[in-house]
Chains A and B, each alone.
Chain A
Amino acid sequence: MKLLFEKSVPGRRSYYLSDLDVPMASLPENLCRKAPPGLPELAETDVTRHYSALESRTFGINDGFYPLGSCTMKYNPKINDSVAGLPGFAGLHPLQPIEGVQGLLEALDMADRCLSQITGMDKMTFQPAAGAHGEFTGLMLFKAYHESRGDAARKTVVVPDSAHGTNPATASMCGMKVVNLPSTADGRVDLVKLQEVVGPDTAGIMLTNPNTLGLFEQEILEITEIVHKAGGLCYYDGANLNAIAGVMRPGDMGFDCVHLNLHKTFSTPHGGGGPGCGAVGCKSFLQKYLPGPQVQKDGGRFTFDQSDESVGNILGFYGNILIVLRALAYIMAYGKDGLPLIAKHALLNANYLKHRLAERFEITNKGLCMHEFIITMEKEAKASGVTAMDMAKAIIDNGMMTPTMYFPLIVKECLMVEPTETEGKETLDEVADTYIRIYDALMADPQAAKAFPVNTVVGRPDEVAAARNPILRYTSVDS
């Protein structure tokens, strides 16, 4: 389809503003840009048709099964968008007096208390805009803590090889050295190796639990104890919190600090790549270092002040506040008794689908899995050339989103499947039947496997050409 710019008709426009009711002031010529920006010239009809067409070329959560492993693509309740968009929240200026935002601070305080309870932490900040931003916050807290004790030599961060790429990248951003920790044969943290790598230079460890292989770190209490005994701190990457929220708490496991992806566990829409919220919680001894202002209840009034010892700000204002409101609405919908059912049904659905698929696929998780599991097609790739990519692209052709492909990096030809709790058994049965049917068809004709998808608006893209000769913006043929 055409780009906005290719639909532009010179002279066409929409009218949105009232007439100017003061004298037009003129901007000195020497300050002006030479030519107006090359924005498209369109009427509102053109704009709405364009975005309707774009929307039809996008796959959303409500288009079908969306099992992206580690992304927790659960249903996004409509009420969340509705309450977050209330003018009483969306119309607030970030620099208006605190007296006029008491209702908003009440909501943030409630979100803080609920999330602190769920994670076993003492205080939250909502300033981090995404999970990676939360990781950055966490390591800054660690750094501030060690420096405050005159223990500034602690500059290494232990990261398991199954970790998300953001963990090591974050450590580097914080001027720390990454110690990669190889996993045991069954995919968990190797306690012996961990004991070997920690020492007086250890700032801390970054862990996801359950890890990216869908495995719970059984020896988590031993892991955090080893790190603490070496003088380091423990960071919980909340990417997989959906497996345990309401049932177990990172705080009880010995973690000092966590980030939550509110856009995963707490159902806020992913927006095609944000805005999310990487809320960070910490134990009380780290609280004074948190970035951004903190909500406190002072009698009947809420205050919003920043600690003098804060690591500083990591965003211009206070975070993606309207996302926090959505997450709070979601927590309120489940409440004390309901919340643990989220994790339990996420596990039930994952285990049931794993059980159904095990008749045809090799699955790396033996026994019960947590909220996700991993299919490996290494044997098929070797034997007949049918890869995880081929499987994924054929799945797309059947009107479903793929599982996460080729992650974690330590499992070859893998597909990571996370159904989430917002699917019913009948859908999982249908998915299992479809996957098995696709698998059989691919194996029957491995040559044809490379052609998929064929039912989509475009086929497999030439990614090599895209990177070799980057075209990153539209340029009109005339220019």
Chain B
Amino acid sequence: MGYLLNTDLQQQEMLDALGLKSLDELYKGLPASLIRPDGPDIPNGLGEQGIAQAFGRMADKNVVFPTIFRGAGAYRHYIPAVVPAMVGKERFLTGYTPYQAEVSQGTLQSTFEFQTMVCELTGMDAANASMYDGASAAAEAVTMCKDRKRTKAVVLGGVNPRTTDTVKTYCRAAGSPVEVLSAKDGLTDLDALAAALTDDAACVILQQPNYFGLIEDAAAIAELAHSKGAKVIMSVNPISAAVLATPGECGADIAVGEGQPLGIPLSFGGPYLGFMAAKSAMTRKLPGRIAGETVDSQGRRTFVLTLQAREQHIRRETASSNVCSNQALMAVAASVYMAAMGPQGLKEVAMQSYSKAHYLAAELDKAGFKRAHGGEFFHEFVTRSPVDPAKLMAHLEKSGILGGLPLPGGEILWCATEMNSKEEMDALVSLCKEVLS
């Protein structure tokens, strides 16, 4: 049954060696009232064939949209076949956290390479092995910025509300304040930010491109924050990071982001990949696992988990984060994706997404879906909707299209990537027109 190995004979030999009569005697001496003789009230076991069929039936009940114009934190990009092939390698899949460096050089080197790529993307000095996702990475970054006097996190209005919500939860746990600002025409209101940067402000969280797809003046925001003594956490989309000014260039102290666009399937929201990188001054405040380079007893290049004095298993209640297991395998996926794409391929993904979003925005505009904001955008943008967005979405879904995300106030957040062909976009616009007429 299941995946047990001992045969009846082996079981008997082992029980005999232990002087026991039955498996139940392994629990002898434990409080009898706690033992449940009948097992849990769950369905009977199935063979592998039955499991495959049951999951097949459940999977078939779901709707996988062939065409998607929705992002808002989860993006459909082309995933080269090499990515799942490498991620599926059994040792990467099944190994534990690489505490035993001598037999974990593969995982450790891969982590070191991932850290390097994250630094290259973000223009920062040091990265960690990964975080649970982009939202929790932003929340943990706040902790890195707090000190005795400065505890408040200022969250800009252009930050994905799901990230903001996660930051609020973490800050509520720690008992520290959060101030969430409103956006002005979809962008940061520098006057409101200046007012929020009080003496207790520890950091500003900025998202680039922001939730509405707009490109913020990150350098100006960072300069303002620094002038008031606050640190800057910049959350970036890793695809746009290939072409936009980096957090390092914009003056951010910490860069975080959701790594899902780097070769990870939509998967109804997880597993995804948080990444985090910092300027050298803050390296020792990074949470989680970090791989470092050293030498072995014979002077050979060797990778190890390092700076462990920061971590919970050493510092216990004085550790600033409890994170241990992270999303290591997803970091392998992102690394393979970036290695396969290379600098040129990644730039192409970025520029195709950018170009297609701009084509789509122009076509939707002609159909009467005017952009809600004026600023420069990357691969997402918000339009007003001349019809009830719910009615529009229902119409699109009938044709296998997942339209943009309806926002409060009747607006729609659209997204286009290299996956959306001109034909698809033209079909979308025609369907929009149908609803209008």
Contacts and interface: CB of A to CB of B under 8 A. Distances in A.
B46 A333 contact: yes
Given A79-B52, A102-B61, A275-B270, 9 more contacts: A16-B340, A34-B249, A55-B91, A60-B93, A129-B327, A249-B40, A269-B329, A349-B6, A396-B100
Contact of B48 (A5, A333, A336): A333
Interface string A23-41: 1110110011110111111
Contact of A424 (B6, B85, B89, B172): B6
A31 B215 contact: yes
B359 A86 contact: no
B345 interface: yes
Contact of A36 (B51, B74, B343, B349): B343
A5 B88 contact: no
Contact of A218 (B31, B55, B309): B31
Interface centre among B296, B312, B322 (most CB of A within 10 A): B322
A114 B17 contact: no
Given A16-B80, A48-B86, A59-B91, A338 B68 contact: no
A460 B170 CA distance: 38
A104 to B, nearest CB: 6
B355 A24 contact: yes
Interface residues of B, number: 205
B101 interface: yes
B342 interface: yes
Contact of B270 (A82, A173, A321, A349): A321
B293 A335 contact: no
A39 B358 CA distance: 27
B30 interface: yes
Contacts of B267: 89-90, 92, 321-322
A20 B119 CA distance: 29
A103 B64 CA distance: 11
B173 A136 contact: yes
A62 B160 CA distance: 41
A263 B45 contact: no
A27 B351 contact: yes
Interface string A346-373: 0111011001000000000001100000
B130 interface: yes
B52 A82 contact: yes
B281 interface: no
Interface string A323-341: 1010001011111111111
A335 B44 CA distance: 4
B324 A166 contact: yes
Interface centre among A33, A83, A319, A355 (most CB of B within 10 A): A33
A13 B341 CA distance: 7
Contact of A459 (B96, B102, B303, B315): B102
Given A271-B93, A322-B267, A54 B106 contact: yes
16 contacts: A16-B340, A22-B356, A44-B82, A47-B86, A81-B88, A93-B74, A96-B63, A173-B170, A218-B30, A315-B166, A320-B270, A336-B42, A348-B23, A401-B103, A421-B4, A472-B290
A287 interface: no
Interface string A415-434: 00000011111110000000
B113 A25 contact: no
Contacts of B95: 58-61, 270-272
B102 A453 contact: yes
Contacts of A443: none
Contacts of B265: 90-91
Q: Which 10 residue pairs across A and B have the least CB separation, nearest first?
A: A317-B269, A335-B45, A88-B59, A103-B61, A271-B329, A100-B63, A58-B106, A94-B269, A273-B328, A60-B91
Nearest to B298: A459
Contacts of A59: 91, 95, 100, 103-104
A169 B319 contact: yes
A150 interface: no
Interface centre among B41, B110, B121 (most CB of A within 10 A): B110
Given A169-B317, A218-B31, A317-B268, A339 B345 contact: no
B294 A103 contact: no
Given A90-B266, A95-B74, A332-B51, A118 B42 contact: yes
Given A79-B51, A425-B6, A460-B296, A321 B61 contact: no
B61 A136 contact: no
Interface residues of A, number: 196
Contacts of B393: 97
A114 B319 CA distance: 35
Contact of B272 (A271, A317, A342): A317
A336 B38 CA distance: 8
B266 A92 contact: yes
A44 to B, nearest CB: 5
Interface stretch (A226-234, A377-385, A461-469): A461-469
A17 B78 CA distance: 8
A204 interface: no
Contacts of A172: 317-320
A129 B70 contact: no
B345 A472 contact: no
Given A58-B92, A272-B107, A314 B170 contact: yes
Nearest to A144: B172
A94 B266 contact: yes
Contacts of B312: 132, 165-166, 168-169
B116 A61 contact: no
Contacts of A470: 126, 283, 290, 292, 306-307
Nearest to B98: A272
Interface centre among A15, A31, A37, A216 (most CB of B within 10 A): A37
A178 interface: yes
A132 B322 contact: yes
Interface string A89-127: 111111111011111101100000110011000000000
A181 interface: no
B364 interface: no
A456 interface: yes
B294 A463 contact: yes
B243 interface: yes
B7 to A, nearest CB: 8
Contacts of B296: 458-462
Contact of A316 (B97, B125, B134, B314): B134
Interface string B1-22: 1111111001101110110000
A447 to B, nearest CB: 14
A37 B346 contact: yes
